[in-house]
Amino acid sequence: MAAKILVVDDDANVQRLLQYTLKQEGYDVVVASDGAEGFRLWGAEAPDLILLDVMLPKLDGYQVAAKIRSEEGSATHVPIIMLTAEREVEQKVRGLRAGADDYLIKPFHPAELLARIKSLLARFAPRESLLARPPLGRILAFYGAKGGVGTTTIAINAAIALHRELGRKVALVDGNLQFGDHRVFLDLGLDRKSIVDLVTAPSIDKDLVRQVMVKHDSGIDLLLAPPTPETAELVHPEHLPVIAAELSSLYDYTLIDIDKRLDDVNLGVFEAAETIFVVMTADLSCLKNVRLIIETIDHLGYPADKIQLVLNRSNAFTGINVKNAEGALKRTIEHQVVNEYRGAISALNSGAPFMFTKADSVLGASLLQFARAVDKPIAAAAATVPSR
């Protein structure tokens, strides 16, 4: 059965263009010319996806999205793509916070629209088709070879990419216990619950974990670091492996962002993780640290493939190219993320990760490629499972 798409736009020319484009692809199309009619047709027609203009008579797009989200209940979720002429990040974030799942800036190419529609329809397929699949339960550690290499940026945006672009259920843990930055980078206050609420409880179980996780507007769930450095001492080495095990039963992916200390806490994370992504840049001090990390992992008796190297700012000129770096390390660098320092810093300072607000940027495309590589073993395994 063809998917039904509700187009809510007061411009007759845009209506005609979207109707033609969507019908050519085999979709059923329902059209509304104002926000109130769009909201009514959402209830009457039960569309599979909504294309929602921002500037509308009666109710604007933000109001329509918010009303739909407040009334649809937890069992259903109609994906919404917001259509806007505004290029400001604040406007995009406002739409996403109102309940939109994606946005497109007018004018846009029909091919991009269709690609985003197909991605959202796949991500929000009816739940009954997903019930037979248990959570993937993969635990991944992100470890910086030295400070300032972008480990937290990659961990946050990889988590968002795995969820928003690949449809995975993702938990992100800020394991930088004394000076975690996730609150700042994700624009969250000190009043949010944290890992301290878990480790100070009589016991750690799934129900408590669910209560402590913080939902981000991007759709990922967060376990935040302690709100102050002194409370970090409440987290003991045995806590994170236990928490990771509980999270692995609730989420497809648990990403743990840890600092560069090789202490008992981080070694516990190494033990729990399926893969350790060591984030690095192409400079001598970083290469020296990576060699020490590889030797440490070997001495601990872990297999060599437990580590994967992620070269951040791979196209930045440092005098050491990828081939030279691999020669110095005597091993392959599995992943590369491009250098776009201005875009990354702007996203961090605004508290809006680029995979959330600028996924179509060069940096977003590079991070999505990394997320797909991370997810590839699971995607390949799923493709080999015969359909019933």
Does 134 score more than 70 pLDDT?
Answer: no
pLDDT at 217: 86
The mean pLDDT value of the chain amounts to 88
Q: How many residues are present in the chain?
A: 388
Does 72 score more than 90 pLDDT?
Answer: no
Q: Write the pLDDT tens digit of every residue in 311-350.
A: 998 877 777 888 999 999 999 999 999 977 677 777 766 7
Q: Sheet holding 102-105: strands in order across?
A: 28-32, 4-8, 49-53, 80-84, 102-105
CA 355 → CA 156, 158, 273, 327, distances in Å?
9, 8, 24, 32
Q: Write the pLDDT tens digit of every residue in 362-384.
A: 888 999 999 999 998 776 665 55
pTM of the model: 0.68
Q: Give the span between the Cα atoms of 266 and 257, in whole angstroms.
A: 10
CA 321 → CA 146, 284, 287, 326, 341, distances in Å?
19, 11, 12, 9, 18
pLDDT at 380: 62
pLDDT at 130: 44
* 179 DSSP β-pair partners: none
Compute the C-alpha angle 124/9/25, nearest 5°.
Answer: 50
Does 216 score more than 70 pLDDT?
Answer: yes
pLDDT at 167: 86
Does 78 score more than 80 pLDDT?
Answer: yes
189 pLDDT tier (thresholds 50, 70, 90): confident
pLDDT at 384: 53
| Across 151-168, average pLDDT | 92
